[in-house]
Each structure stands twice: as C-alpha cells, then as structure tokens.
Structure 1
Amino acid sequence: MPENQHTEYKQKVTPELEKEVVAFLNSKEGGVIYIGIDKHGEIVGLPDADQEQLLIKDRLKNNIVPSCLGLFDLALEQKEDKDILKIIVAGGYEKPYYVKKYGLSEKGAFIRIGSAAEPMTARQIESLFSKRVRNAIGNIQSPKQDLKFQQLHIYYQSVDKTLNEQFARNLELLTEDGKYNYVAYLMNDINTVSIKVARYKGLDRVDLIESNEYGYECLVKATKQVLDKLQLENRTSTKITAKERQETRLWNAIALREAVINAFVHNDYTREIAPKFEIFADRIEITSYGSLPSGLSQEEFFEGFSVPRNKELMRIFKDLDLVEQLGSGVPRILQAYPKESFQFSENFLRLSLPASEEIAPQDTPQDTPQDTPQDTPQVEELLKVMDGQHSRQELQDLLKLVDRENFRLNYLQPAINAGYIALTLPDKPTSRNQRYYLTQKGKNTIK
C-alpha cells in the first residue's frame, strides 16, 4: 500500500519524526507511521527495534507540545521475518500541536495533507488555537486536593510497574499551576462518581428488578468491578446435540469488554455524568455521556480512527493493560455486532448489544448456577491443573494460555465467583504476591 493521508513510511528513525507525528496530531483522524519500510513500501527492517522503541517514546514525550502522552501507541511487528515499528497516532484534542524547539510557529506546527507533512500557516495556527479545548479534564482542577492513590499504586504493581514520587506529573494528574486536576480526582481512592448497573424485567425501564451501584473510588477499580459484574451476567447456556456440546454466551465476551472500556475511557466527565449499564430482557445498553468528538464523522469512528477525549485516562488504562491499542475497540465490537448497534445523539453515545436469547428475570447467576460461566470446560480445565498455591502466571503457563485477559475472563474470575478458588490475600486482590488455591468446594468438584 502506498503512502497516503493516513500512512507514512520511514526506512529508519529520522530527525523529522516529531514533525510527522505533529502533522497527524493536528489532523482530524490521526494516522500510522511505519519505521523499517522505505518510501516504496519495501520492508527493510530495523536492527534493534526494541532500543528504537524506547528512544521514540522518549522523543515524543519530551519534544512535542502540548503533551501527546495517551495519543500515540507503539507496536513491534514482524513482516517478512524482519522487525518493524508501528506508531499509531490519534488526532489530538488540544490542537495545534508543535515541535517544542521551534515553538508555535510555521516552523514548528505541521498538518497532514495528502501523503506529506506540510507547515501550517499563521492563519491555520490561530484558527486551531482559538478552538482548543480548554475544559478537558486535564485542565479542570480537582474539587478537593487531599487525594490518596493507594488503589492506583496497587493496580500498577499488579502489572509489575511502579509509580515513583513524580507519578502525578508523569501521569499528567496536575494542572499547569501544580494543583491536582480532575483526572487525579477520578483516579484517587475516594470520589463522588457513581456507576450504575441496572436490570429491568421487560424491554423498557418501567420495571426495575435489580440495581447495583459502583464507583466512589478509583475509576480503574470501578471499571474492573463493572467488568466482573457483567462477566457474571454474561452466562453461558449449553445445548447438547447428537454431534456436539454447543455453548453460547448471551453476548460476545470480547465485544462486551471493549464496549465497557470504551464507555469509561471516552466518557465526558466535565459534567460529572458517568457511563451507565442497563440490562433488559433482550439486550444490554451501554450509555456514555458526550457524542462524537468535533470533526470526527460516524464513518471515521467505525473505521477505527481515534480521537481520545481523555488522553490521560487512555494512557493509564493502556499502562494497566486494559486497553490494547489505540483505535482497536470499535473494530473489535463490529466483528460481532452491526453498526446499527451504535446510537448517536447530541449529548450521548449508546451501544445496544442484543442477547443471544431472552434474559428471563429468574435466570440470574444466583438463581440458576447450572447455567453460569463457572460450569464451562475452561473452569473445569483450570481446576484440574491446580495443586497447592499458584500465581496467575503459573496458572496461565500450566494451561498454556498467552492472553491474560482471556484467562481472567473465562477461567479465573468465574472459578472465584463460583467459590471453587480462593485468594491467599483476599483484601489485596491485585497484589503481586497474590496466590490462588482450591477451596474444599473446588476439590469436591474435581473428584
């Protein structure tokens, strides 16, 4: 594929890399830069891609203003047995972006036109600057300044990362005058953000039969709690035919997870409105506040072009392996559900996922344990390999599983919810020292 408005090839890392990234940041949809492919599209590879990856991340972090952290993603790929680097750049919210050493000028600000990064005119710079979003959550001061981040520290430790004394600045949790911003408020241990997960008896909101409230805590913890709740609700029904045993989830597990993460990361929190999750007899609806970002069309949205509303949240969620790659969420959802599942309005974005069968009120996980996810072959397989205490990684190795989220969603969490497996540190579920062991109920199950 030749270079175009969204694709740039570079044989090696050059001094002009920042210029190309800035041009994509200032464009509407962003783009992708491949390092290790020449201008003709021929793959040449990189001798030390890992080292180049570190250098690129450092350059983009320090040489572009405003900060583009959370707006780019680096991926190491292999093509024709050669290593190349893929830099995915999202369109930024705080345009115009510019190369720091040249300042906000025609020499430092660029925009993508066709397959080239062109200097922006003074008029273009002034126009974009006048429209710059100033009410982003990174610029809004936290309603309180006495914040604690114990939960956030634990989540970073759980993925073998450590937050140092400068973490608030490194994660962009501070305003320009050094005060905690609204991102910090969302990430601290106690806040006022309430997340609702509701269940209704029929097809409308008339008959509420169950209401769960999460939140008032680190947004990462609230996200994980909602994921776990919906994972439990996403029961597996089994049909045994003459030829095979057929198992079907109410909703596609990958699409459901991506939808939940997207709702949390891209929600507009400036009005203190949180995403909500509603289960009806025939569907689940996930609603987030804030419609499409200005300038992003519905077609571009469906194609996976990314304009993160909350780049700071995106960066943290990616650090914690909750987000895999910029722009991957919507395409993954569309692999399982049609575009018509998305509803756009002036102030909200709603995703409606139809259930594979009717969700009767009595079919809750508590009422019909034989239909819940814990009865799946994956859980049975997990229980059989356990002997003593194991770390998460040890269990994945025993099962020969690479995908951590697949292991958590389909093996570990259902087994814990069923009471088959217990934690050695129940008060610190994400501790790096956490181990898992069979309960008596689990041992009885495999006898």
Structure 2
Amino acid sequence: MNLHDMLRRPEGKTLEFKRDLSSPQGFLRAVVAFANTAGGTVLIGVEDRTGHVGGVDQPLDLEGRAANLISDAIQPPLLPDLEILPFRNKHVLAVRVHPGSVRPHFIAKAGLEAGTYVRVGSTNRRADPQLITELRRFATGESYDEHALPAVDSEALDFRAASESFAAVRELRRRDLENLRLLAPYQGRLVPTIGGMLLFGRDRLDHFPDAWIQAGRFGGTSKAVILDQTRLEMPPLQAVEEAVSFVKKHLLHGATIGPVRRTDHWNLPPEAVREAVINAVVHADYSQRGAPIRIAIFDDRVEVENPGLLPFGLTLEALPLGVSKVRNRVLGRVFHELGLVEQWGSGVPRMIRACRDAGLPAPVWEEIGFFVRVTLRTEKVGPALVDGRDSSILRVLERGDGHRTREIAQEVGLSTRSTRTRLARLVERGLVREVGTSPNDPKRTYVRSLEDFRGFTKKR
C-alpha cells in the first residue's frame, strides 16, 4: 500500500481515516460497509477531519487488536489485509477490506437488521430491509428484474406492444418472451418476470407504482420556481424518448443554415442526455418505494437521478473507465437488443466525449443518499472541438471495430473526398486513429481514439 498516495485523497467510498481505536464501533461499521459495497481501506492513526498523521502507539499490539475485533465482531467472517506503514518517525495501521463474497456482512452483536452497513460517499449507512435483500441477491448472482411474479398471469404482458418495439430489429415470437426472460417458468406455467412487467406489463404501475419518470424545468439554479413539469408514466422504452424530448424542449438552442439543410444546436449534446436517461432507467433500483427517476433542468445544468446505489463492487472513479455492472439484466438485455445500449460500459465514456467535444465540462456522478445522480453542466469551459459533421463521423466510429472512408461518407451524407479531409483533420487532432499497414493502405479503416479521453479518467 502506498500511504502517501492515500493521504492525498479525501475520505470517500473506499477510504476512511481513524485517529485511533478508542471507538471500535465506528471502526467496525466502516469495515462492514466496505465489505458490503466496493471494498476499501481504513487508515488508523490519521485525523478524520484534517487528514493529519498523528500515528499510533504500539502498532503491533494495535494490529492484533484490530484483527481480533474484526474476527470476533463481524459475521460472516472477513479476512482483511493489515499492514503497518511508516510515516516519518510515526506509524499508521492500514486495514484493507476486500468486497465480501458472502454478503451481507454485519456486526454480530447488533444482528443482521441493525448491524448491516453500506458505504455511501464518505459515510457508513445502515442498510434497510430492501437493501439487505439486494445484498443477498448480489451475493448469489441474481437480478431483481429476473424474479418471477407468480400471482400474475402471462397474459398480463402486452405481446403486441413488445412485438411493435422489436419490429425494426426482428420479428418477435412468443417463445422469445421466455428467451428474453420477460416470462419465466413457475410451477409448470409461464408467468411474467419483474423486468417483463416493467417493460410491457398491461397494468405495470399497479405492481410498480414508482416506475415512472418525473421531469421538471426550474427557473434559475434551484428548485424554488417550477416553470414546467411532467409525469412520464408510459413503459420505459417510450418514456426514454419522451424524457429526452422534454429536456431538448427546454434546452437553449440555435441553428446554422447551410446550403442544403438547417442544423440545430443545443447547449447540451442530445446523445449525452439520452445516455444519461437510458442509464437511469436501466440501472434504477425498482425495489425501492416512493422513488421515481427524476430529471431536473436548471439554467446551468441538467440532473438525472435514479433510485439505488451504484451496483455493489462499482465505484464512481471506475465509471469513466467504462467499467459497468448491470443491475437489471432483463431491461439491459432488451435495451441492448433494440440498439439503445450499444456495448456494456461504453455509455459513460460516450457521454464524457460528447460533452468534451462540445466544449463542456465532463459529467459528474454522485451518490446522494440511496440515489445516483449525474449532472450535465451547460456552461462552456472551452471552444467546441468538433462541428456537427465531425460529431456525426465520431458517432459512426463509436460503433464496430473500424470503418472505411466510403462507409462513413454514406452514413453521414458527405462525399468521399470531403469525408477523407475531415478524417485526416480528426486524426491530426488525436480524436481518430487510422488502422492499416501504412498511410496509403487502400484497406485502412478508422476508429475512435481513446487518447482524448484520458483526461477524464479520474474524478475531479
């Protein structure tokens, strides 16, 4: 462990400071929370408010005491790594906790319901019964939306609505409902799954009354003045489109009149808004009650918020790297088949690139309470790096493993010569890479470069 690197960081989802072990309960709560969430390190001998290193007395004795506390007080058992780290003429005890494989872990004396904690930001929060159930599901590899609804008949799914949604992709047959896990076998009959009911249930809101999107436009930068609002209670596939349309309606925009067509410009890239809404719908925790997905539009930003912590094992710092864990496999599978989700983990990097290319700050993700919020800022921090045509080329290159010039030209509606000129400029700026045996290789292809993305791989 590199103590100097850890001391440069503030307390957060995977790091906590403790001055000493005079309050063992606080230490145990942190260990349990790290084990249940994404792992983490407790540094004993560091002031939690200032980060100043006071060190510990008799570090070997303290190491033994910490190990015994964890062994005696936490169930199921944990095996953290303990290491004494020197700092100038002092010592710090580092307790590194790995994500548990048999969640939920809890403080045995308090019991499962009162002693289970999760990490939210830099705090340890007691898990409610729904969260404890989710910890159990995660430990067994289950997905909430794959669970069967035994009290509901298979006809509760609207097969016609499902078929219409898939019409542009393929013909949907009734047996496909089971392959997609929209239906599941239960005691010799097929019944809807939670995911199937959420997506295509005839009476979906009767079963999941909070599975809708609340969207609002506020005056200024707070929620004091409501200018417009809407409730989007239609199924998720349609709700995504309506939500994006609502946001675009309220975003400031202008237009460039070209020789052939008019091009509209919004102060947020529509693709970034779309990805934010899709991520919220696919990753929401639908087991929570009283918590719809919320979209708030302000003068300087758009916030998209969904119920549920990040999936266990995932951190905010990992999101920009394309690391992804799917909370709802049924929703994710259907959205993927319909082309709304392209490649797992690619949505967040695409959002960051879209904002960067428009001269905007990178999106910011936060865990607030038991919600995840992404904030898209509309105030520019620099000039736009690409125009509308270049942006279209870059979107084409997001798909697949490489495209030739002629293919790109056909998709974006430009001549091959004009496309080649733009590609050369994008290559020069490091936004696109050529793949071939030489610059003159007639079979060379183009791919989106990851070099321009490095600056956003760490939380700022």
Q: TM bucket by the smaller chain?
A: 0.3 to 0.5
TM-score, normalised with respect to structure 2: 0.46
TM-score (norm 1): 0.47
Larger Rg: 2
Greater relative contact order (Cα < 8 A, sep 6+): 1
